[in-house]
Structures are given as structure tokens and as C-alpha cells.
Amino acid sequence: MTMTYPRLNRDGAEPLWMQLMRALRTRIDSGELGPDQPLPSEAELSDMFSVSRTVVREALRELVQQRLIYKVKGRGAFVSPRKTELRFIGSMSGSADDLRESGRRVTTHTVRQALGEADEREAALLQIPLGEQVVRIRRLRRVDGQPWLLVDTALPARLVPGLERAVLENQSLYDVLRRRYGLEPAAADRWIEAVFPDREDASMLEVSTSTPLLGIESVAWLDDNTRFEAYYALHRSDQTRFYVGIR
């Protein structure tokens, strides 16, 4: 197997293992390394990139974590048979953190942000009177430039005064809620279904209207009596599967 790889940058700006991980992932994503094909051994990779086995193992560990490869003691490391497997952790914001940590570029763009009056669905989810003021936020999240998640959030305006004017670009909404309003979710309920997007949502996510997506409805609570956030998210599970960890 002859592969030409970019030389690693040793200025310390980015860890060697992360650069190596990305280099390997590129080959896997591109299909250059097919399912169940072996990667070069740790010793070979160590030679090819002139790094220690420590660096190689760190890079491989990360890829195993991302489920892009699997290792068999005594045999080697192999490309996972499953195709697009990124890690997507529990909460929406948590998952973005994980993706970032795994070396992906995550951006969040706020499409709409406005005050309005709660409709039937929002009133029921947030358990507030019909017509109470809510802040509505529509955001599109991308991973490495690829649309990934479209979220429509509604919050009771009295809990988050001024949020309709806050700058949210590339920030986790939960971080803003915590830092600006001291709101910390204590619990959440989520319901997941498989749906087709309507024309507008499909174009936002850059898929056809016949692509099956995950629809995730969520309500977050401050305590038993206060629901402070409801959202409906459309999730491209062809990009990253929705992950639920149970501990």
C-alpha cells in the first residue's frame, strides 16, 4: 500500500496526533481505504510520518472512538464496515462539543430570531398560556461546512428578556442561557421520529424532500414546575447518527 501523505506541521499549533488522525480520516472518508481494509501498522505509520508510536496510537484511538476504525489485537487496525459514523452525544450542545473535540469544524448560524406569541404547540410544550410572549430562534448548524442540524427553539420571553436581540452566532444556546440568565437545564424529555422535510427545511439542510431525517422534539426543565425551552430539530442522520449514552 503506497500512500502519499501531507507532511505534519511541527510548529506546535496543532497536536501531531490530531493532524495524523485527520490525514487518516481523509483517506477513509474519501473511500481510498474501503470497509474492512487494514490500515498500515502502527510501526509503519510511525515510520511514514516520522512520529513516535505514542502519536500513532493517540490518533488511532481517536478514530476508534469515532468508530471509523476498529482494532484487533495481534492483527491490526481496520476501516469500520459502517459508513458515515461520527459521534453524536446526548444533548445538542454536548454533541457539538464532541464533534469539535474530534477535530471537526462546527459552525452555528442564526437564521431567524424574533419575539412572538405562543401557538398551540409551544403553549402545550412549555406549559404556558396560549399567546404568551415567546422568543423564537431558528438556527442551522454545520459540521465541516455540511448542514447537519436545523433547530427551531422557543423560550418564554419572561425568562430570557432581551434574548431576541442577543448575538448567538457560533455560540451554544445553552451557554448563553447559563451565562446571561443563569438558567441551567435540570432535565429534558425528547421524542424522536423519522420524517421527510418540507421544501424549505430541505433546502436549508441541502437534501431532497425525500431524504429521511430525524425529527427531535425536546422540552427542557429548570425544575418540576418550570419548563424553559422547547425545540424541534431536524437532523441529518446520514451525516452523524444521533447518539444516546446510558450510564
Partner DNA sequence: CCCGCAGACCTGTAATGACAGGTCTGCGGG
Partner DNA sequence: CCCGCAGACCTGTCATTACAGGTCTGCGGG
Q: Of 165, 141, 166, whose CA–CA distance to 152 is shortest?
A: 141
How far CA 213 is from CA of 41, 143, 173, in Å, comes to 38, 16, 22
Which range, of 45-53, 85-93, 144-152, 181-189, touches DNA by CB under 7 A?
Answer: 45-53
Which range, of 52-60, 82-90, 156-164, 194-202, touches DNA by CB under 7 A?
Answer: 52-60
109, interface contact from DNA, its own copies, none, CB < 5-8 Å by kind: none
In the window 91-150, what residues touch DNA (CB under 7 A)? 129
How far CA 2 is from CA of 32, 112, 164, 224, in Å, comes to 11, 49, 55, 60
Interface residue with its own copies, options 91, 133, 146, 226 (CB under 8 A):
91
Could you say whether residue 15 binds DNA (CB under 7 A)?
Answer: yes
Question: Which residues, other chains included, contact 94 with Cβ-Cβ below 8 Å and sequence gap of 6+?
Answer: none
Separation between Cα atoms, residue 94 and residue 173, nearest integer Å: 11
Separation between Cα atoms, residue 122 and residue 230, nearest integer Å: 7
Which residues, listed in sequence order, are joined to residue 14 by a DSSP beta bridge? none
121, interface contact from its own copies, DNA, none, CB < 5-8 Å by kind: its own copies
Which range, of 57-65, 80-88, 195-203, 236-244, touches DNA by CB under 7 A?
Answer: 57-65
Minimum distance from CB of 213 to its own copies (Å)?
A: 5
Which range, of 43-51, 131-139, 162-170, 181-189, touches its own copies by CB under 8 A?
Answer: 181-189
Minimum distance from CB of 235 to DNA (Å)?
A: 29
Question: Which residues, other chains included, contact 113 with Cβ-Cβ below 8 Å and sequence gap of 6+?
Answer: 135, 136, 137, 138, 164, 165, 168
Could you say whether residue 77 binds DNA (CB under 7 A)?
Answer: yes
Question: Which residues, other chains included, contact 100 with Cβ-Cβ below 8 Å and sequence gap of 6+?
Answer: 106
Residue (4 or 193) nearer to its own copies, CB: 193
Residue numbers of the site for its own copies (CB under 8 A)? 36, 65-68, 70, 72, 80-83, 85-88, 90-91, 120-121, 124, 129-130, 186-196, 210, 212-214, 217, 235, 237-238, 241-247
